[in-house]
Amino acid sequence: MTIPPSALAEYNLAWGPRCERTISASSAEPMSMAELLALADPEAMRLWEGLGLDYASVLGLPALRDEIAGLYGSVGPDGILGFAGAQEGIFCLMRGLLSPRDHAVVVTPCYEGLLAVPKALGADVTEVRLRPEEGWRLDLDGLAEAVRPDTRLLVVNFPHNPTGSTLTRPEYERLLGIAAEHGVRVLADEVFRLLADDPLPPAADLYERAVSLDVMSKAWGLGGVRFGWIATRDEAALAAARGVKGWTSICTGAPDEVLALIAIRATDRILARNRAILASNLDVADAFFAGNPDQVEWVRPRAGCLACPRFVNREATAVAERLAREEATLMLPGPLFFGGESHFRLGLGKSGLGEGLSRLEAVLAGG
């Protein structure tokens, strides 16, 4: 197994230090430590103040697993496994489930790890692409045709990164029904699920061979809390991921677990704040695209905090480099997500988007 360097990580490393702001962030607005601790209930605060810095449990803090299980209808605490972020969960699950020459179906464009990891593991991967000319909608007939007798894993992500596409519940149930018909496991990346106005049910609740993935960094906006998880009723998939985790982080950080516990218990308050920022940014973005129709266009996102606009007559990579050099603003071009050369990822979850789009407008006006 040979895993190439992450193009997304390398790009951020090269251009991020030059920039003072970003228009491509994938997460909601972060909080300070003081703001988060102010939301703690007495029990969680006692845990925080008395926290010992020994190894945490391999499975995760029991109280945290109980709270996470409350986000699901059919998955109990024993079906929750914590990781040091979503990427570790993706890697451990795929490494545990896929062997060379197994077949996987991945909906693209996508977060890099969802496609790069199965390819690095030697799996034969079929991409089912969302297309802008079709409103970034998933072709369920095309997805059904992509499934083969040797398909072991179907990888989906709704609300979608980077396009902001999503499915209706009947569409999602049909997708999971296709997997069930062929006995295929599903990895459902649901890290933006709770930012939707009317969230889809978790895949793990709808299909017994589905694995739901979530993380503190996206809907909660807590990227500095390095905690993510998988939730599933599939005991074999859970055991496979746990076995690989023994060769990666072994356990998550004890402070991260308590901070995640505080945040999940305050989910309603945190999400209300983050959805308000998202709604305001959508208005800002609407005005930007309406004011620059000859330069840039988009399919307005249906859910989550991301969109994938395109430049009308420019390559996004060239614009991104100019934006970083001239305006100290980071923008992530589409090829980092296996997308088109003219597309870029637009983040709608953080404050200050208007300033970043003004900087982009200045670059576009400069020729």
Taking the C-alpha atoms of residue 149 and residue 136, their distance in angstroms, rounded to an integer, is 27
7-32+268-365 CATH, one of 2.130.10.10, 3.30.420.40, 3.40.50.300, 3.90.1150.10 = 3.90.1150.10
pLDDT score of 293: 95
pLDDT score of 319: 96
Q: Do 131 and 334 touch, CB atoms closer than 8 A?
A: no
Taking the C-alpha atoms of residue 342 and residue 251, their distance in angstroms, rounded to an integer, is 41
Residue 292: phi and psi, rounded to 5, are -135, 50
Task: Tell me the three-class secondary structure of 277-332, residue by residue.
Answer: HHHHHHHHHHHHHHHCCCCEECCCCCCCCEECCEECCCCHHHHHHHHHHHHCEECE
50-265 CATH, one of 3.40.640.10, 3.40.50.300, 3.30.300.30, 3.40.50.150 = 3.40.640.10
CA dist 49 → 31, 223, 257 (Å): 19, 22, 13
Of the candidates 184, 233, 235, 180, the one whose C-alpha atom is nearest the C-alpha of residue 205 is 233
Residues spanned by CATH 3.90.1150.10 within the chain? 7-32+268-365
> pLDDT (tens digit, 9 = 90+) per residue, 244-259?
999 999 999 999 999 9
Taking the C-alpha atoms of residue 171 and residue 152, their distance in angstroms, rounded to an integer, is 21
Residues spanned by CATH 3.40.640.10 within the chain? 50-265
Non-local (6+) Cβ contacts of 355 within 8 A are: 21
Give the E-state strand segments of the chain in sequence order. Answer: 21-22, 80-83, 103-108, 124-129, 151-157, 185-189, 210-215, 228-232, 296-297, 306-307, 310-311, 329-330, 332-333, 344-347
CA dihedral 130, 133, 134, 137 (to 10 degrees): 30
pLDDT score of 340: 85
> pLDDT (tens digit, 9 = 90+) per residue, 81-123?
999 999 999 999 999 999 998 999 999 999 999 999 999 999 9
Q: Is 267 left (phi over 0), alpha (psi -120 to 50) or beta?
A: alpha
Of the candidates 247, 215, 245, the one whose C-alpha atom is nearest the C-alpha of residue 92 is 245
Taking the C-alpha atoms of residue 47 and residue 120, their distance in angstroms, rounded to an integer, is 40
Residue 286: alpha-carbon gap to chain centroid: 23
pLDDT score of 141: 97
> pLDDT (tens digit, 9 = 90+) per residue, 292-317?
999 999 999 999 999 999 999 999 99
The first and second tokens of residue 99, run together, are 């062997």
If you write DSSP's letter for every residue of 229-259 in order, what string do you get?
EEEES-HHHHHHHHHHHTTTTSS--HHHHHH
pLDDT score of 3: 80
The first and second tokens of residue 221, run together, are 């906006």
Each residue's pLDDT, cut to its tens digit, for the chain (367 residues) gives 778 899 999 999 999 999 999 999 999 999 999 999 999 999 999 999 999 999 998 888 999 999 999 999 999 999 999 999 999 999 999 999 999 989 999 999 999 999 999 999 999 999 999 999 999 999 999 999 999 999 999 999 999 999 999 999 999 999 999 999 999 999 999 999 999 999 999 999 999 999 999 999 999 999 999 999 999 999 999 999 999 999 999 999 999 999 999 999 999 999 999 999 999 999 999 999 999 999 999 999 999 999 999 999 999 999 999 999 999 999 999 999 987 899 999 999 999 999 999 999 999 998 7
